[in-house]
Structure 1
Amino acid sequence: MATPPEYLQHLLEDAMGKRTKQWAVPDCGLSSALRFSVQLEDSSRVFVKAATDEYTEQWLRNEYLVLSSIGGKCMPSVIDWLDKPGVPPILITEDLSDAYWPASHQGVTWREGDVAMLFEGLNALALLKAVPALPALQNRKNSLWSEIAGDPAAFLDLGLCSERWLNKAAEALIKAEKDLDITGDQLVHGDIRSDNVCFAGTGAVFVDWSHAARGNADHDLALLLPALCLEGGPAPYHLMPEGGSEAASGSAVLIQRIISDHLMPQWLKNVFRKLITIELEWAADCLGLEYPDGKHP
């Protein structure tokens, strides 16, 4: 049982008109906002998310904008929004503790049929038009692959490919990255991954809309596929055979992060190396390149 800040307990009980019995922190999720599944005195439950700084406040306002303006069965329903002067905003939504969550601190387990429902949910999201007030996705102005190829030592030190492979592939990767267009008017979640989805009834419900935006809905699928493959799902090429630009861009982002973040823990570096390999093989399939010839993580 978790102990909430006193102010949060008072505000929630006042908003709900009920006392609280139990507060629990969800088993997964990376948000630095306060997050609790709360059981009320009548045994009903709500989910509470409260901002902790200016960044989480901005993200929470973004999330509330989506949930309150668009809604639908693929999102949790809003119960209340507390936005009082001098107090960080608080979002109260339906509690999904009884849904099936594939991700936990013990790992990720997709049941038979889950991945199909996940893609059905993504297809439904792709049909939704974004709220104009959401931030718009912008295409990258600089080429990360140009930077990597121009100073390749740190990337080559990862052992994922040889210098020969990089020299042969660099031009195609740079062009593909530059051709990527993520702009548009569709609703983009911006952070689809296994710990941000659950299954309630016969459908997927996506949570944590902090990074929602207006853009190209393919962006969500492209962000999801490499991690899903790592978790036992299909290879990205089988679902996005024209995704060379997405793969080139995604691999470059991960490479820049792993070589620039000197405090990244080793376990996360290992995950990144596997994801980069998946992205590069996806790019190779789409762009007609050789597979990277380095050590497979």
Structure 2
Amino acid sequence: MASVPDGVRSTSPAALGERLERALGQPVREWVEPDTGLSAAARYSVTLGDRSRVFVKAATDEQTERWLRTEYLALQHVPERFVPGVLAWLDEPGCFPVLVVEDLRRAHWPASHQGVDWRAGDIDRVLTTVSDLSRVQAPPGFVPSRQGPAHWPAFVREGPDRDAFLDLGLCSAAWLTDAAHLLVKAEASLDDSGDRLVHGDLRSDNICIDAERVVFVDWSTASRGHAEHDLAHLLPTLHLEGGPVPFDVLPAGRGWAAAGCASLARRVLDERALPPWLARVFVRLIAIDLSWAASCLGLPRPDGIDWQAI
């Protein structure tokens, strides 16, 4: 293969080929773009000369470069049983960095563009592994988890934001008025600080089951924060996909539930360019979070449309 000149930052297979062969000491035989990933980073499942496979993730711009460097830092510190093994880190001057890890194509991936397929026992194993991960301390250099602004005050105050929230159909105006003080207080009570390792984007398409271990991928937003962070953010999506009711797992999660509901509502109402299918998923998650918050706060069940009917 032709060499990649300094300053050329392409991440096409042709440009990556020699870098990989030089790092791994084998010729590259085949490139396959997997059904995974939402960022602009380039991803390939690569077959090598000895017929083994590796997974390649390459930055394509400054943002994905920052994310990839965070991911590489995380993979160096997270206990091996939680993550794919690192095989190479390519970081030559003038080129975007490239991360090479073990290929987990043969593992069971519960989520893909074709839908979600949790097998019996999978969700329980994931929840146990998330609990184990929550005991891991974050390494030095990890930034604190970002805690967003409070949104409930605007949603319960008379005005266009309240009207827009009610238009989602998840509760009546009377229910929202009665719940307003507790929802505002619950959101304000959330403290996401801590010294635990936080994945930051745990969802079913970033999880696979490889034989006896549960593996978490895409650590590009890893940070330092509260031990409950990953669990609290994962529970609503798991419930959407057939998992337990969030309240049954985290009955004291009023802050997580209230904040999650309000932040997603803010996105749905503000981001007009959201694809309709994604906006619908978000509204279903808002409904799950609102019901979770109500249970934690001893409020009546929200009297609007149930998430399963959305």
TM-score by length of 1: 0.96
Distance in 1, Cα, partners of 2:210 & 2:297 = 38
The residue that corresponds to 1:15 in the other structure is 23
**Per-residue deviation, 1:149:** 1.9
The residue that corresponds to 2:289 in the other structure is 279
**Per-residue deviation, 1:138:** 4.2
The residue that corresponds to 1:146 in the other structure is 153
Residue identity opposite 1:209 in structure 2:
W
Asked whether the 8 Å contact 2:108–2:209 carries over to 1, the reply is yes
Asked whether the 8 Å contact 1:237–1:243 carries over to 2, the reply is yes
Give SS of 1:73's match.
helix
Q: Is 1:196 the counterpart of 2:206 in the alignment?
A: yes
Give SS of 1:173's match.
helix
**Per-residue deviation, 1:185:** 0.5
Asked whether the 8 Å contact 1:28–1:103 carries over to 2, the reply is no
The residue that corresponds to 1:117 in the other structure is 125
The residue that corresponds to 2:115 in the other structure is 107
Asked whether the 8 Å contact 1:118–1:203 carries over to 2, the reply is no
Distance in 1, Cα, partners of 2:115 & 2:146 = 33
- Per-residue CA deviations over 1:61-109 (Å, capped at 9, x if unaligned) read 0000011133411111111111111111100111111111111111011
Give the alignment's Cα RMSD to 1 decimal. 1.3
**Per-residue deviation, 1:143:** 1.6
Unaligned runs of at least 5 residues, structure 1: none
Q: Which of 210, 231, 237 is matched with 1:221 structurally?
A: 231
Distance in 2, Cα, partners of 1:271 & 1:30 = 16
The residue that corresponds to 2:257 in the other structure is 247
Q: Is 1:73 the counterpart of 2:81 in the alignment?
A: yes
**Per-residue deviation, 1:125:** 0.6
Q: Is 1:33 the counterpart of 2:41 in the alignment?
A: yes
The residue that corresponds to 1:55 in the other structure is 63
Distance in 1, Cα, partners of 2:49 & 2:80 = 28
**Per-residue deviation, 1:217:** 2.1
Asked whether the 8 Å contact 2:152–2:183 carries over to 1, the reply is yes
Distance in 2, Cα, partners of 1:57 & 1:47 = 17
The residue that corresponds to 2:6 in the other structure is none
Q: Which runs of 4+ in 1 moved over 4 A?
A: none
Distance in 1, Cα, partners of 2:218 & 2:290 = 28
Q: Is 1:6 the counterpart of 2:27 in the alignment?
A: no
- Per-residue CA deviations over 1:150-172 (Å, capped at 9, x if unaligned) read 33111111111111111111111
Give SS of 2:279's match.
helix
Asked whether the 8 Å contact 2:13–2:31 carries over to 1, the reply is no
Distance in 2, Cα, partners of 1:257 & 1:139 = 15
Distance in 1, Cα, partners of 2:63 & 2:175 = 40
Q: Which of 195, 199, 204 is matched with 1:185 structurally?
A: 195
Identical aligned pairs, as a percentage? 51
Larger deviation, residues 146-155 vs 122-131: 146-155
TM-score by length of 2: 0.92
Distance in 1, Cα, partners of 2:65 & 2:227 = 25
- Per-residue CA deviations over 1:153-196 (Å, capped at 9, x if unaligned) read 11111111111111111111110011111110000000110000
Number of residues paired by the alignment?
A: 294
Distance in 1, Cα, partners of 2:26 & 2:165 = 56
The residue that corresponds to 2:7 in the other structure is none
Question: Structure 1 pair 149/92, CA: closer, same or farther in 2 (3 Å)?
Answer: same
Unaligned runs of at least 5 residues, structure 2: 1-10
